[in-house]
Every structure is written in C-alpha cells, then in structure tokens.
Structure 1
C-alpha cells in the first residue's frame, strides 16, 4: 500500500514508532469492533503493553527494538474468549494503515503497513485454522496477494 501524503515525514526511529503506536491504540480503544477486546477481554495493562509494542514495531522496521515475546500465543489465548476472525483482523489493519497514513509517508511508512498486512494474515490463519482463508485482509498489495495465492497452491 503506498502512502498518499508526501508532505508528511517518514518513520525514522523510536520517537516516530512511539507516536504511531500511541495514536493507533488511542483509535483502537475507542473502536466499536476492537475496543472491548482490549479493555474487557484481554484487560490490557497499557503501561506494560505500549512499551512492548514500541519494541515490537521498532524491531520490525529498524531491527533495533529488542522485542521478545510471542504475538501468536497472545492472540491465540483470546480465541476462546471472543471473536478473533476476519472482521476483527480487517478492522485492526484498517485502523493501523489509516493511522500510519495520517502521520507518515515514505518507504518506512509503506513498509510498516505491508508488514502489518502480512502479520494480520499470518496470525489470523494460525489462530483460525478451520476458517475460509480465500478472502484477504484489506489493503494487501498485488504482490502480497500473489504470494498468498502461490503459497496456497504449494
């Protein structure tokens, strides 16, 4: 997915990652589809969660975040407690990509959106093994769609 606002800065380091993560989770907390999952199901401790997410995304983009953890296991634990299907992952990705687009533009901004789309697809598939995976999350590039189609044929 390509950014459309060239007047915005690109993600350059930890400060921008923190800005993105904070803005993203502000939107998530108020979202009708996702907010309750964090507040009422996962009972998210934001003081602990946000620094983990800073480290996670810094690791993804810059390989410097020092993140340790297992995002797949965290999401899998929620499956028996609430819906964790395609609508939830599509909404997560939509909010993430629109948050990036509202704050940043450039190669790193595009890269983080593509990484988020890949992660949404992988985590959804892993925690929903019996789901119909013919539909892709919103915002996948043609290259990503081709990769997933090829992977499904092997």
Structure 2
C-alpha cells in the first residue's frame, strides 16, 4: 500500500543527507531515556569526533566513498563490563534509527540503510555478548531461505 506521508521525502543521495540523518539521529539518542545514559555517561561520547566518524561510516556503507576507519566491534565491546548491552538496547537503537530515517527520507537508499543498520545491530550484539546471531538460526529461516541455503551448503566430508 502506498504511504502518502513518504511521497515528498527525498532519498539519501550523498554526504549532505547522511550528515542530516546522523545529526538528527544522535540528537535523539542524546535525549533518549534508554540510550542517552549509555552514550553520555557510560561511553562519555566525544560528539565532536564521533559524528564525523559516523558520517564516514554511513557514507562508506551506502556509497563506498566515506573512507571509514575504525573498529566498531571493539568500541562496543569495551562497554559490556560497564553497562547492560542486551538485545533490548540494540532493538531500541534500531527502532530509533529506523524512525529517524523514515522521518527524513524515503526511497531505495533509505530502505537500504535501515537494512544495513539491522545487520550491524545483530552482528555487534551477538559478537560482544558472545551469543549466536539470531539471523542465522535455522529455525528463523523461511522455506525459501532454507531451500537456498541447502543449495549452497557444501556436501558433507566423507
């Protein structure tokens, strides 16, 4: 069904839109009852350095041009002994990210960045908490995914 509220929103076309998204998102994070504490008090995020890293990260994700360098896994892992980094925090982060994208943008890249954010949240959550990534639980696969997986599965070693 067509969502008329999205009709006049631009898609993400370059660095300017990424900066708008990142700035808006992290303004919301700072004020968020669940995430603000983690970023402001626990991680003591230096926003002057963090925001440009996030511009480069998302520009690299969408356009392969951002020149991002860094280790997001290590940055998140060092927070584990300091605060709860459970599934609910990552789900909340993702919901806030998706709603920010939806408030600002519509289109193929807007959808793609939300999918990339979901992948990133799943990978970081599972690795820093040393739990299986729920996306790869065979019980969560659709019949089509199971069929595709079976075709690419290497034959058993005899």
TM-score interval, normalised by the smaller of the two chains = 0.7 to 0.9
- Residue 127, structure 1, aligned to residue 136, structure 2: no
- Residue 81, structure 1, aligned to residue 76, structure 2: no
Normalising by structure 1, report the TM-score: 0.84
Q: Deviations over 1:73-109 (max 9, x none)?
A: 1000000000001110001000000000000000000
Alignment of 1:1-154 (within 5 A): 5-130=6-131, 134=134, 146=141
Q: List alignment gaps of at least 5 residues for structure 1.
A: 137-144
Determine the C-alpha separation between the residues in 2 that align with 1:6 and 1:66.
32
Determine the C-alpha separation between the residues in 2 that align with 1:14 and 1:108.
13
Stretches (4+) displaced over 6 A? none
Residue in structure 2 matched with residue 140 of structure 1 by the alignment: none
Determine the C-alpha separation between the residues in 2 that align with 1:97 and 1:69.
23
Normalising by structure 2, report the TM-score: 0.82
For 1:109, what is the secondary structure of its paired residue? Answer: helix
Q: CA deviation at 1:146?
A: 3.5
For 2:32, what is the secondary structure of its paired residue? Answer: coil
Q: CA deviation at 1:130?
A: 4.1
Q: CA deviation at 1:5?
A: 1.0
Structure 1 residues 113, 130: closer, same or farther in 2, change over 3 A?
A: closer
Determine the C-alpha separation between the residues in 2 that align with 1:84 and 1:126.
11
